[in-house]
């Protein structure tokens, strides 16, 4: 099978509000009633997906991604335009839909399989596969309510993907569950792709988009802003998210079990921080092996003798991996002006493996914060590192090694 599997043409969606719902009812029978209010969620959206292609749909919250997905899937009808979808379609907009907690997993599998349009015989065929993939052991024949939510997700996913569809539509459903399950489900999606399934994937997770998709469509304000290479689209997406929006507020109060997140006497404060690319545009995630630049803006609130800026990068369990400050580098600022803003650009090569990390910032008067601590922020910024390096490696550190075989 070749050609286009999904063709979205000039799709627009307006949610209409009427003066009274009665006038809406009358419009179904040909009466003319002008809606009081029309809000357009999507406008003139068009793109297509070829056979075997994987396309990501990215965009900010409220950009219209979910609405578009509902229209593509067919649960919602577009106000204008049309959607043509060919082949067998499986949509996972939410895992666990249609499951009855009172019934056992096996009965539920038949039931939900039926909801997807499969006959009992067709489900009989794949039942061993479902049971094997779900890996819930004897729980497979017990009521679903006895399972942990993770087990329920596994069953739901293995039922949803029991038959290989021609087009698989996945909402962020997969960002749930434990790491093991996520890996397994990603593997299955990859398998499907190799076998020729087209994928339409909505995600906020840049690493998943880069790893899975050939193309990305960026939606903003209900319109297609860009359609192209995932990396380029993600760059624009990152630029669209203003730093304020991406990180709505810096942690300002003590939170969580980690103890005090922010401390200090307040003579100077960090007012903004984030990673930027070479053009100064904000980026969301770093890439292993690539250069990175952390931009920190500091405001001086009161008169001090000396201002030292320091930072540290910690891994997800809180271990400091690297930290230094402007005292060590002999760049301490003597007698900073009150009200002045200083910008610190910390450049380094990302030698970190893929994962989640955090930045700690310190504004102090000397080599360590016991001298005078103006401000100390733990978890000032949490960021992701994505690994796109060509050669696989293990461990937390990227120290590209070559192996010579003699």
Residue 38 binds to another protein (criterion: CB under 8 A): no
> Which residues within the stretch 377-396 sit at the binding site for another protein (CB under 8 A)?
none
Pick 71 or 359: Cβ nearer another protein: 71
Q: Where are the beta strands (DSSP E) in 158-260?
A: 167-170, 198-202, 215-220, 223-228
Q: Report the distance separating Cα 189 and Cα 193, nearest Å.
A: 6
The binder of another protein chosen from 34, 38, 75, 141 (CB under 8 A): 75
The token duo for 372 is: 């005078």
Residue 164 C-beta: closest distance to another protein, Å: 18
Give the three-state DSSP class for 142.
Answer: coil
Pick 91 or 224: Cβ nearer another protein: 91
> Which residues within the stretch 87-146 sit at the binding site for another protein (CB under 8 A)?
89, 91, 93-94, 97-98, 100, 102-103, 107, 110-111, 114-115, 117-120
Residue 176 binds to another protein (criterion: CB under 8 A): no
Buried b (16+ CB within 10 A) or exposed e, 216-245: bbbbbebbbbbeeebeebbbbbbebeeeee
Q: What is the DSSP string of 42-53?
A: EEEEEEEEETT-
The binder of another protein chosen from 53, 73, 357, 358 (CB under 8 A): 73
Residue 35 binds to another protein (criterion: CB under 8 A): no
Angle, CA 192 vertex, CA 168 and CA 145 arms, to 5°:
65
Pick 96 or 282: Cβ nearer another protein: 96
> Which residues within the stretch 265-294 sit at the binding site for another protein (CB under 8 A)?
none
Q: Report the distance separating Cα 315 and Cα 318, nearest Å.
A: 5
Convert 221-236 into a string of H (helix), E (strand) and C (coil).
CCEEEEEECHHHHHHH
Compute the 3-state secondary structure of the chain and give helix, strand, coil in percent, each to the nearest 5. 25, 35, 40
Residue 123 C-beta: closest distance to another protein, Å: 9
Residue 301 C-beta: closest distance to another protein, Å: 50
Residue 62 binds to another protein (criterion: CB under 8 A): no
Binding stretches for another protein (CB under 8 A) = 15-16, 21-22, 24-25, 28-29, 70, 73-77, 89, 91, 93-94, 97-98, 100, 102-103, 107, 110-111, 114-115, 117-120
């Amino acid at each position: 099978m070749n050609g286009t599997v999904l063709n979205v043409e000039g799709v627009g969606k307006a949610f209409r509000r009427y003066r009274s719902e009665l006038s809406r009812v009358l419009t179904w029978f040909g009466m003319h009633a002008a809606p009081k209010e029309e809000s357009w969620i999507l406008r003139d959206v068009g793109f297509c997906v070829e056979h075997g292609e994987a396309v990501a749909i990215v965009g900010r919250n409220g950009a219209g991604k979910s609405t578009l997905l509902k229209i593509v899937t067919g649960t919602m009808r577009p106000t204008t335009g049309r959607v043509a979808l060919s082949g067998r379609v499986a949509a996972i907009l939410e895992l666990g839909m249609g499951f009855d907690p009172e019934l056992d997993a096996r009965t539920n599998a038949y039931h939900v399989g039926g909801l997807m349009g499969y006959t009992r015989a067709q489900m009989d065929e794949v039942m061993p596969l479902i049971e094997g993939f779900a890996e819930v052991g004897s729980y497979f024949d017990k009521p679903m309510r006895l399972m942990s939510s993770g087990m329920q997700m596994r069953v739901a996913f293995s039922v949803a993907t029991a038959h290989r569809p021609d087009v698989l539509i996945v909402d962020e459903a997969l960002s749930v569950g434990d790491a093991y399950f996520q890996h397994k489900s990603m593997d299955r999606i990859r398998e499907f792709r190799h076998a020729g399934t087209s994928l339409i994937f909505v995600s906020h997770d840049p690493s998943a988009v880069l790893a899975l998709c050939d193309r990305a469509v960026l939606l903003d304000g209900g319109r297609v802003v860009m359609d192209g290479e995932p990396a380029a689209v993600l760059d624009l997406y990152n630029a669209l998210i203003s730093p304020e929006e991406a990180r709505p507020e810096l942690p300002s109060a003590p939170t969580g079990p980690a103890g005090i997140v922010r401390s200090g006497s307040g003579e100077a404060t960090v007012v903004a921080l984030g990673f930027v690319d070479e053009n100064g545009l904000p980026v969301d995630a770093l890439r292993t092996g690539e250069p990175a630049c952390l931009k920190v803006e500091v405001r001086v609130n009161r008169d001090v003798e000396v201002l030292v800026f320091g930072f540290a990068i910690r891994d997800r369990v809180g271990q400091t991996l690297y930290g230094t400050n402007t005292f060590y580098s002999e760049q301490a600022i003597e007698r900073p002006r009150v009200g002045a803003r200083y910008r610190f650009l910390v450049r380094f090569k990302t030698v970190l493996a893929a994962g989640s990390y955090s930045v700690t910032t310190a504004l102090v008067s000397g080599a360590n914060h016991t001298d005078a601590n103006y401000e100390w922020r733990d978890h000032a910024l949490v960021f992701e590192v994505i690994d796109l390096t060509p050669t696989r490696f293990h461990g937390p550190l990227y120290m590209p090694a070559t192996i010579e075989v003699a």
